[in-house]
Chains A and B, each alone.
Chain A
Amino acid sequence: MRTLRKFFMRCISFFHKRSNAARLREELAHHMELATEDFIKSGLSREEARRQSILEFGSLESVKDSWRDQASLPLLENFWRDIRQGSRSLRLAPSFSSFTILAYAIGIGAATLTFTVFDNVLLKPFSFHQPDRLLTLYGKSIQSEGPAMLSFPEFRDIRSLTEIFSQVGAMLPAKFDTTGGLYPERFLGRIVTDDFFPSFGIQPFLGRAFTKNDSNTVLLSQATWATRFGSDPNILGSKLNLRWNDQAARAYTVIGVLPNSIQTAFPRHTELWAQLDEAQPDFANRRAGAFDVTVRLRDNVSLGQARAALDSLAKSLATQYPERPLSSILAVPLHDELTEAPSKLFPVIVAAVGFLLALACANIANLALARGNFRLRELKIRASLGASRARLVRQLLTESMLLACTGGLIGVTLAWSLLKVTRALIPDGFLRGDAIAIDTRVLLAALAITILTGIVTGLWPALRLSALSFTGRPRSAPYLVIAEIAISLVLLSAAALSLHSLYRVLTVNTGFDTANLIAMQTNLPRENYRDPIRRAQTIEQILQSVGSISGVGSATVSDFRPLGSTMNLRIQSSEMQELAVTTESIFGQYFESLRVPLLAGRGFQQADSPDSPKVAIISRRAAELLWPSGQALGKNFQTIREKPETYLVVGIAGDVRRAGPTREAKPHFYTSTNQEPPYLVEILVRSRPGVEASSLLHSIRLAAASIDGALGIHEAVLLDDSLQRLLKQPRWIAALLGSFGALALLLTAIGIYGSTSYFVSQKRYEIGVRMAVGATQGQIRNQFLYRGLAHAFLGIGLGTIGIFWLGHFLKGMLYGLEPLDPTTNLFAVGALLLIALAANYFPARQAAHMDPSSTLRSD
């Protein structure tokens, strides 16, 4: 009660500060007067009486101070006073203030931008219903290393674990081709079970979801509804004639449109959703693993319990069905599954931004100390006038908070202005990356970072300086500069490595030429093309008619396009050498068209027919691995599969990085479509120079349709675009780490310059003396230069430890480069030394040009 009253009174008097101060002044004056009179009465002179009364009273200033502290809200009052005083003193030191604000802006801005990206793509929960209860399930096969898709019967077995999972949904990628139009068009679709959308808690925003009794119904994605149907509000109930997977075309009824939020769950663009018909005989095959299975944990079931249940299920399935070698069923939280790509990069980027922030803090503390030593005189005066140490610390802290907040504001603004660029640079695997924004979470984080850095960078100098204000002489602290150099080296090394790695990726020979090359797919429907001769003839026809279109430079055919998916299998050479390889079947002028060199032997010929012995062309790497001793031409190899096939090597081609420049070329072999004509045909067309490859698409569609109306041209992609997409991640890493490195260099330069300048000014008396006794300018300059370089070497030594540590994180992110690559790291060291030299040189030269007579007189 008493405390409350006191607070209330204080609040009132806070607004009556002036009249309160006047009251105290009057009271004290009255006190002095009476005291003086009393002393006079006791026989002292007026002057002596006045002196005695002042002595008896004590320090007037400290009484006023503590009275003021008592009178109103001292915290608030002092805060305002400190802010006013702080901003005044900061205005008086514009270069110090602007460098400090710059350092804060860099550190806080980089941290904010990084947090924005990772909060949006990684940390934030997905917008599904209770996203943390959702799991993705995979099979694990005894035969292969990676995860295996589950089959439909396995999905059913999992669904029967009703005490563990409340919902179990399965999804199968499916391509739907329209029929009945001028030429077939394709929808990239998914076939899902009834439980699928309910398990995510997603409802169509138009129409309804699937029900158990539906047949031949589809849902559209919002994007498809907009682009293909012009957002037609009357879309519900309309029919689409679609053919899926060689089944006869059926009429599907559109029953709803799904919101875009579903797209965040599935990286690959899905245009259409159809309902899974559980009775379909295709799905009865236990060995046909093709399903993505998503489950929702019951509320009282833990992940561990679910894993145990799945383990025992897998065990019983393995004994029951020995022909399906399923060793276990893995459960991965859906969040982890969907954020796999950013979570891999997260540690290294966070480490880097942490280093940058630490560097900025060291820089700021260093500048504050250097400046504080200059204003030690001011602080000493304040201390001797009765300011307590706490008061001085508070004032210095207020100043640093003022700078931190200004820097933070600029940093957040910078981060905000870079959002658009960041969105464009974000790699494909980062779901939600195109929607990153600065929201309340980010702002709160930025505020926390600002306050933290303000306190961290302000407190130490404040404590040190306030201590010095009472006792002692200032000494220079080189540890901060050494720490700065060490941190900077780590960041520079990361930057140099990522840039070097990007350079390697950009300049690596992929083994083929993507310029003006467009890939597209056509499907030879199974029911009409069972005859391999017919398939081979049709493929040849397509090639001929596409090749005759004006603007087409060359056209060729394969069954797996480069930069797309691959066909993996194992082969065995005649010398029993076993090898994991990729393969494809090609036709026409493939090597000429893709500009892959044929190194030895011959290409495929018309004579290589279905009846003649199977021939193959192998890549150089395959040749080296299969026949290490030499000659591969004329040798045989065998595929290891149920029905093994033997091939005669007739040619050796150059290596192709089929998975893009960031992956090594795998051993590969080509077969002839003439001998093994595929159903799925990838047409690769290179346009003539000056002709836009995509402009040929319409003519190619018509050409294919004129051969057979059922042949559609789908998934047309410029291979240059595919290549750029693959390069996005190394580009992004290099952009991020590269700019961190550049900022680190800038901060370090400022830090070194500031601290050496301060050191020089501190030593000006000594310089004066040395010059007076005959030291040359060169000697003076070198004295400071050597000192700076010694610090630089110390910092570099420490930083080297950091490089080893960071290298561990960087390992998986570099292409064709080890994290400890000597050339790149030496380059970073060299750049840092150069900057250190330059930043030391100018203050050192200044020292050498001092006028000894004036420096000796000044102190």
Chain B
Amino acid sequence: MKNKSEVHQGTLALMVLKTLDILGPQHGYGVSRRIGQVSGGLLDVNQGTLYPVLLRLEQEGAIASEWGVSDNNRRARFYSLTRVGRKQLLAETQQWEQTTSIMNRFFSLRAEDLP
């Protein structure tokens, strides 16, 4: 139970970092909307779970946050990627790609390919 949510949180964190990397500073709702859009509703995530992830990333120093003004002229907390975060994103993207390519190779494997 615990392991599954942790993996999930890790993936979510990577999505958050990538979103902030592309869009620049965003408030929590913006990030969650973006993730929802990209996944095309395939990801069954409660939006609420985002906030603890944001906090964790901030504590780890991957993102920073400050008060700003949103489109509807309301005070909102804006999150942005830090240098640490950018490095982390790069490293984790590579790792992710490596994992997926390995997994792909496994999935495309057929019996006759084996020596």
Q: What is A's interface to B at a CB cutoff of 8 Å? A: 2, 5-6, 9-10, 23-24, 26-28, 30-31, 33-35, 37-38, 56-60, 62-63, 66-67, 69-71
* Stretch with Cβ within 8 A of A (4 or more), from B11-19, B43-51, B94-102, B103-111: B43-51
Q: Are A63 and B51 in contact (CB under 8 A)?
A: yes
Q: Are A58 and B52 in contact (CB under 8 A)?
A: no
| Majority secondary structure of chain B interface residues (helix, strand, loop or mixed) | helix
With contact pairs A23-B77, A27-B28 given, residues A57 and B56 touching in the complex (Cβ less than 8 Å): no
| B27 interfacial by beta-carbon distance below 8 Å | yes
Given contact pairs A27-B51, A70-B59, a sample of 11 additional A-B residue pairs in the complex whose CB atoms are under 8 Å apart: A5-B61, A27-B27, A30-B28, A30-B75, A31-B32, A56-B46, A58-B48, A59-B48, A62-B48, A63-B46, A63-B48
Contact of A70 among B33, B46, B55, B74 (CB under 8 A): B55
Q: Are A2 and B52 in contact (CB under 8 A)?
A: no
B54-74 CB contacts (< 8 Å) to partner A: 55-56, 58-61, 70, 72, 74
Residues on A with beta carbons closer than 8 Å to the beta carbon of B49 = 58, 63, 66
B5-31 CB contacts (< 8 Å) to partner A: 27-29
Please provide the 5 A-B residue pairs with the shortest distance between their CB atoms, ordered closest to farther.
Answer: A58-B46, A63-B48, A58-B48, A9-B59, A34-B29
Q: Are A33 and B74 in contact (CB under 8 A)?
A: yes
Contact of B27 among A30, A57, A71 (CB under 8 A): A30
Residues on A with beta carbons closer than 8 Å to the beta carbon of B51 = 24, 27-28, 63, 67
Bound together, the chains give a CA A24 to CA B60 distance in angstroms of: 18
Report the minimum CB–CB distance from A477 to chain B (whole Å).
Answer: 28
Number of interface residues of B (CB under 8 A): 23
Bound together, the chains give a CA A9 to CA B64 distance in angstroms of: 13
Residues on A with beta carbons closer than 8 Å to the beta carbon of B60 = 2, 5-6
| Count of A-B contacts judged by CB separation below 8 Å | 72
Q: Are B72 and A59 in contact (CB under 8 A)?
A: no
Report the minimum CB–CB distance from A210 to chain B (whole Å).
Answer: 72
Residues on B with beta carbons closer than 8 Å to the beta carbon of A31 = 28-29, 32, 47
Residues on B with beta carbons closer than 8 Å to the beta carbon of A69 = 52
Residues on A with beta carbons closer than 8 Å to the beta carbon of B33 = 38
Residues on B with beta carbons closer than 8 Å to the beta carbon of A57 = 46-48
Bound together, the chains give a CA A71 to CA B65 distance in angstroms of: 14
Closest residue of chain B to A60 (Cβ to Cβ) is B48
Bound together, the chains give a CA A59 to CA B27 distance in angstroms of: 20
Residues on A with beta carbons closer than 8 Å to the beta carbon of B52 = 63, 66-67, 69-70
Q: Are A30 and B29 in contact (CB under 8 A)?
A: yes
Report the minimum CB–CB distance from B28 to chain A (whole Å).
Answer: 6
Contact of B46 among A28, A30, A35, A59 (CB under 8 A): A59
Q: Are A10 and B59 in contact (CB under 8 A)?
A: yes
Residues on A with beta carbons closer than 8 Å to the beta carbon of B48 = 28, 57-60, 62-63
Residues on B with beta carbons closer than 8 Å to the beta carbon of A6 = 56, 59-60
Report the minimum CB–CB distance from B70 to chain A (whole Å).
Answer: 7
In this complex, the member of B59, B72, B75 whose beta carbon has the largest number of chain A beta carbons within 10 angstroms is B59
In this complex, the member of B27, B52, B74 whose beta carbon has the largest number of chain A beta carbons within 10 angstroms is B52
Bound together, the chains give a CA A390 to CA B59 distance in angstroms of: 25
Contact sample, A vs B, 22 pairs, CB 8 Å cutoff: A2-B61, A5-B60, A5-B61, A6-B59, A6-B60, A26-B75, A27-B27, A30-B74, A30-B77, A31-B32, A34-B29, A34-B70, A38-B33, A56-B46, A57-B48, A58-B46, A59-B46, A63-B49, A63-B51, A66-B49, A66-B52, A70-B55
Q: Are A27 and B59 in contact (CB under 8 A)?
A: no
Residues on A with beta carbons closer than 8 Å to the beta carbon of B55 = 67, 70-71
Closest residue of chain B to A12 (Cβ to Cβ) is B59
Bound together, the chains give a CA A701 to CA B48 distance in angstroms of: 99
Q: Are B47 and A35 in contact (CB under 8 A)?
A: yes
Closest residue of chain B to A5 (Cβ to Cβ) is B61
Report the minimum CB–CB distance from A120 to chain B (whole Å).
Answer: 48
In this complex, the member of B46, B51, B74, B75 whose beta carbon has the largest number of chain A beta carbons within 10 angstroms is B51
Report the minimum CB–CB distance from A319 to chain B (whole Å).
Answer: 76
Q: Are B76 and A30 in contact (CB under 8 A)?
A: yes
Residues on A with beta carbons closer than 8 Å to the beta carbon of B59 = 5-6, 9-10, 70
Bound together, the chains give a CA A295 to CA B75 distance in angstroms of: 86
Residues on A with beta carbons closer than 8 Å to the beta carbon of B74 = 30, 33
Residues on B with beta carbons closer than 8 Å to the beta carbon of A70 = 52, 55-56, 59
Residues on B with beta carbons closer than 8 Å to the beta carbon of A62 = 48
Bound together, the chains give a CA A23 to CA B27 distance in angstroms of: 13
Residues on B with beta carbons closer than 8 Å to the beta carbon of A63 = 46, 48-49, 51-52
Report the minimum CB–CB distance from A853 to chain B (whole Å).
Answer: 47
Contact of A27 among B46, B72, B77 (CB under 8 A): B77
Residues on B with beta carbons closer than 8 Å to the beta carbon of A33 = 72, 74
Bound together, the chains give a CA A750 to CA B51 distance in angstroms of: 50
Report the minimum CB–CB distance from A390 to chain B (whole Å).
Answer: 10
Residues on A with beta carbons closer than 8 Å to the beta carbon of B58 = 9
Bound together, the chains give a CA A24 to CA B32 distance in angstroms of: 16
Report the minimum CB–CB distance from A59 to chain B (whole Å).
Answer: 7
Residues on A with beta carbons closer than 8 Å to the beta carbon of B32 = 31
Residues on A with beta carbons closer than 8 Å to the beta carbon of B75 = 26, 30
Closest residue of chain A to B74 (Cβ to Cβ) is A30
Report the minimum CB–CB distance from B81 to chain A (whole Å).
Answer: 16
With contact pairs A9-B59, A30-B29 given, residues A37 and B47 touching in the complex (Cβ less than 8 Å): no
Bound together, the chains give a CA A848 to CA B46 distance in angstroms of: 54
Closest residue of chain A to B48 (Cβ to Cβ) is A63
Residues on B with beta carbons closer than 8 Å to the beta carbon of A5 = 59-61
Bound together, the chains give a CA A846 to CA B1 distance in angstroms of: 47
Residues on B with beta carbons closer than 8 Å to the beta carbon of A26 = 75, 77
